[in-house]
Amino acid sequence: MRWTKTLVATLREEPQEAEIISHKLLLRAGLIRRLAGGLYTFLPLGLRALRKVEAIVREEMDRAGALEVLMPALQPAELWEQSDRLTTMGPNMFKLKDRHDRLMTLGPTHEEVITDLVSREISSYRQLPATFYQIQTKFRDEIRPRFGLMRAKEFIMKDAYSFDVSSEAADASYKAMYDAYKRLFARCGLRTKPVEADTGDIGGSSSHEFMVMAEAGEDAVIECSKCSYAANVERAERRVTVAQPAGDTPATLKVDTPDVRTIAAVSAFLKVPPAKLIKTVIYLADNKPVAALVAGDREINEPKLKRALDAKTLEIAPDNIVTEVTDAPVGFAGPVGLSIPIYADLSLTNAADMVTGANAADAHLLHVDLTRDANVTAYRDISVVNAGDACPRCNGELCVARGIEVGHVFKLGTKYTEAFEATYQDESGKAEPIVMGCYGIGVTRVLQAIVEQSHDNNGVIWPVSTAPYAVGLLSLDPSDTAVAATVTELEAQLEAAGIDVLVDDRDERPGVKFKDADLIGFPLRVVVGAKGLAKGFIEIKQRSAVESVFAPPAEALETIQKTINTMLAELTAGQP
RNA sequence: CGGGGAGUAGCGCAGCCUGGUAGCGCGUUUGGUUCGGGACCAAAAGGUCAGGGGUUCGAAUCCCCUCUCCCCGACCA
């Protein structure tokens, strides 16, 4: 392809709309343009890179034995009522009505559609296991779209669904997808880290997220400095050493704390370290009030609390509920005397001589012994893990990093298959629910994650597997007949060899071409100039390298092919 | 939805405080000189100053309302 025949919309200056580097580069290198918040057009270069990622995903799904299908993006809302997700997923879904006033949704994911299909088409154990996948546009009414492709309202996702006769068999399907993911991301040039994750609204028993570690990532990841333990902060646990019962705490004492409400303020006012305070937060779990307790130097982990309560919905209670439940203004809640269920963090077991809100205006209680003075319903792990906490698996220390979630694999069990009566008959003719797994990859997000992980000050550094063009062929003197002939010949050779090449045939100064080539990030840059050619060579340079190699035009093709093959081999080295 | 920032030429910005009828750089078009790391000279095109209302002889500028975009929190591939 010739530069002058396609649209290469590079930007010299940093676009004002972008904050993080990958977003800036996607715009500057001319891959995407914003239509509205969370909605992007893929320009020719961007679409090429996207197609490369899709092709890799497709190849690895096929290799793993998954079957490609394509399901409708537009779906009847009743389907979502059947799985009871119209409420849980509800606000995230785009809803519309057809001309017959029938409520439809734009699919944010496809568990319902695939399970409905499977319930109709699969009836025998002989048809299992089976895994289906698709690469398709998803729609989510995100609360806050951001960072370009990272969190968009419309995005491309690869979603796969496995169906098995038993949870043991499902584990094998899960493992197959997990391994396919590792290989697939490696082929895309991404370094990923699988971490234990929360299942969220999808549901199911356990899951792993594939994280691209990056400062710009939206997720906090907890990692052990010694062992391989890694988990999303929403899920992460820590080793808690439970205190012995104290027994000698003085009686509780109510003290005046006029308008002193926050942990920091109470700590300063009473001269007590935050760790000796108990933070009491009133939540509505499935619309019923509960109290959650953690030490004053910790935060409540809402996903963990939600799981501990086995609640469908969880939100901080509005002020009027807090006032009603605690009989005090907001800021003075405490566990003593509360009549609602109280869930305390595991680390508060046997906590004694603590400071809590008094459930009365402008007052706190000293010397609270949780076991003695409060009616705690249960002690559960409900606090956010902090850097420095103890690893739950070994004696190491935990640390915090950030990651971009590019893939997520779930063991779903029978949640959906039961809702849709997707059963199979076993050897004895007995109907059993099919055991399900689901597996997502944010294809458009992967594209941006690659850029986030692979760039320098001059622009993108594409892995050869996903670059819009593997080779940028710069014709420095397009009007020079020898140069033009050499370029045309090499272009034809490369295309015949199946290597993508973009020829910069513009009437521009060399500096402009070099800058654009670096910005776009061709893995290989091949330069043909009048001076070099007169000496009998052309220049070949890897984007990631400092040094160039020089070769006679006749050997250029072979050198380029070899280099590309080496780069491709490096991507899959060490993969299953 | 809560908190913060911003909308002026295709892009990046100044002008606003202290009202007087819009400017700079880049890009674009034309001509010329250049030509291995974002050249130079000359000429030119290009603006509902986000939208609506108000104050005023006069509003990009002051006041009110609305919209959009970006950033921080709840959502997630």
Tens digits of residue pLDDT in A544-563: 999 999 999 999 999 999 99
- Residue A404, nucleotide of least CA–C1' distance: B77
A39-42 LR contacts (CB < 8 Å, sep 24+): A39/A152, A39/A153, A39/A154, A40/A148, A40/A149, A40/A152
Q: How far is the CA of A188 from the C1' of B66 (A)?
A: 46
Q: Tokens representing A127?
A: 């048809």
Give residue limits of the domains in chain A. 3-236+400-452, 253-380, 469-572
Task: Give, in Å, how far the C1' of B47 lies from the CA of A148.
Answer: 28
Q: Is it the case that residue A246 has pLDDT exceeding 80?
A: no
List, as one string, the DSSP characters of A128-167.
-SEEEEEEEEEE---SS-BTGGGB-SEEEEEEEEEEESSH
The average confidence (pLDDT) of chain A is 94
Per DSSP, A414 falls in state: T
State the Cα–Cα distance between residues A232 and A225, nearest whole angstrom: 15
- Residue A140 CB closer than 7 angstroms to strand B? yes
- pLDDT (0 to 100) of residue A241: 87
**Cβ–Cβ under 8 Å, residues A124 and A142:** no
Q: Distance between CA A38 and CA A145 in Å, rounded?
A: 5
Residue A481: burial class (beta carbons within 10 Å; 0-12, 13-18, 19+)? exposed
Question: Residue A41 has what pLDDT?
Answer: 95
Q: How many residues does chain A have?
A: 576
Please work out, in degrees rounded to the nearest 5, the angle formed at the alpha carbon of residue A192 by the alpha carbons of A189 and A466: 20
pLDDT score, position A488: 97
A142 is near strand B: CB distance < 7 Å:
yes
Q: Is the CB of A13 under 7 A from strand B?
A: yes
Looking at the predicted complex, does its ipTM rise above 0.90? yes
Q: Give the Cβ contact number of residue A269 at 10 Å.
A: 15
Rounded CA–C1' distance between A490 and B29, in angstroms: 33
Nearest to A490 by CA among A549, A554, A534: A554
Tens digit of pLDDT for each residue in A370-411?
A: 999 999 999 999 999 999 999 999 999 999 999 999 999 999
Nearest to A263 by CA among A251, A246, A278, A281: A278
Identify whether the C-beta of residue A108 lies closer than 8 Å to the C-beta of residue A155.
Answer: no
Label residue A317 by pLDDT band (50, 70, 90): confident
Mean pLDDT, to the nearest integer, of A207-213?
95
Strand B atom within 7 Å of A10 CB: yes
Q: What is the mean pLDDT of residues A464-491?
A: 97
Closest nucleotide to A91: CA versus each C1': B75
Q: Is the predicted pLDDT of residue A319 greater than 90, yes or no?
A: no
**Cα–Cα distance for residue pair A105/A73, rounded to 1 Å:** 8
| Helices A481-496 and A553-572, packing angle to 10 deg | 40
By mean pLDDT, which of A46-60, A113-127, A198-212 is the weakest? A198-212
Q: Which nucleotides of B are covered by protein (CB under 7 A)?
A: 1-2, 11-13, 25-27, 34-39, 68-77
Q: What is the predicted pLDDT for the residue at A364?
A: 94
pLDDT at residue A205 tops 90: no
Q: Which of residues 457-496 of A touch strand B (CB under 7 A)?
A: 458, 476-477
Distance of CA A265 to the CA centre of its chain: 36
> Would you call A69 helix, strand, or coil by DSSP?
coil
As a rounded value in angstroms, the CA-to-C1' distance for A87 and B73 is 23
A199, A123, A212: which is closest to A437 by C-alpha? A199
Question: How far is the C-alpha of A549 from the C-alpha of A545, rounded, in Å?
Answer: 10
User: What's the angle, vertex CA A254, arms to CA A248 and CA A256, rounded to 5?
Assistant: 140
Q: Say what percent of chain A tops pLDDT 70.
A: 99
Residue A391: half-sphere exposure toward Cβ, Cα within 13 Å: 18
**Cα gap A297→A165, rounded to integer Å:** 47
Residues 367-386 of A with CB under 7 A from strand B: none
Nucleotide nearest to A92 (CA to C1'): B75
pLDDT class for A576, splitting at 50, 70, 90? confident
Q: Above 90 in pLDDT, residue A356?
A: yes
Phi and psi torsions of A75, nearest 5°: -135, 145
Peptide bond before residue A129 is cis, with ω within 30 degrees of 0 = yes
Strand nucleotide closest to residue A35 (CA to C1') = B69
- Among A256-265, A289-298, A428-437, which stretch is predicted with the lowest mean pLDDT? A256-265
pLDDT of A87 reads 78
pLDDT band at A206 (very low <50, low <70, confident <90, very high): confident
Closest CA to A369 of A334, A332, A329, A325: A334
A289 touches strand B (CB under 7 A): no
Q: What pLDDT was estimated at residue A458?
A: 96
Q: What is the mean pLDDT of residues A79-106?
A: 90
Q: Is the CB of A536 under 7 A from strand B?
A: no
Q: Which amino acid makes up residue A358?
A: A
A258: its two tokens: 């006029």
Q: Is the CB of A152 under 7 A from strand B?
A: yes
Q: What is the mean pLDDT of residues A452-459?
A: 96
Question: b/e for A22-57, b at 16 or more Cβ within 10 A?
Answer: bbbbbbbbbbbebeeebebebbebbebbbebbbebb
Is A299's CB less than 7 Å from nucleic acid strand B? no
| CB within 8 Å of A555: residues ≥ 6 apart | none
Nucleotide closest in space to A210 (CA vs C1'): B77
Calculate the angstrom distance between C1' of B59 and CA of A363: 55
Tell me the C-alpha to C-alpha distance, in Å, between residue A546 and each of A43, A291, A451.
29, 60, 19
Among the ranges given (A155-159, A240-244, A427-431), the one the predictor scored with the smallest mean pLDDT: A240-244
CATH fourth-level superfamily of A253-380: YbaK/aminoacyl-tRNA synthetase-associated domain (3.90.960.10)
Nearest nucleotide (CA of A512 to C1'): B38
Pick the CATH number of A3-236+400-452 from 3.90.1150.10, 3.40.190.10, 3.30.930.10, 3.40.50.80: 3.30.930.10
pLDDT of residue A330: 86
- Domain A469-572: give its CATH architecture: 3-Layer(aba) Sandwich (3.40)
pLDDT confidence of residue A311? 84
pLDDT tens-place string over residues A519-540: 999 999 999 999 999 999 999 9
From the CA of A134 to the C1' of B2: give the distance in Å. Answer: 38
User: pLDDT tier at A90 (50, 70, 90 boundaries)?
Assistant: confident
The nucleotide lying nearest A216 (C-alpha to C1') is B71
Round and report the angstrom distance from CA (A261) to C1' (B10): 53
Tell me, in Å, how far CA of A509 is from C1' of B39?
A: 8
- Using the structure, give the distance in angstroms from the CA atom of A37 to the C1' atom of B51, rounded to a whole number: 19
Sign of CA dihedral A221, A136, A28, A520: positive
CB A475 within 8 A of CB A534: no
Q: Which residues contact A116 (CB under 8 A, 6 or more apart)?
A: A79, A82, A420
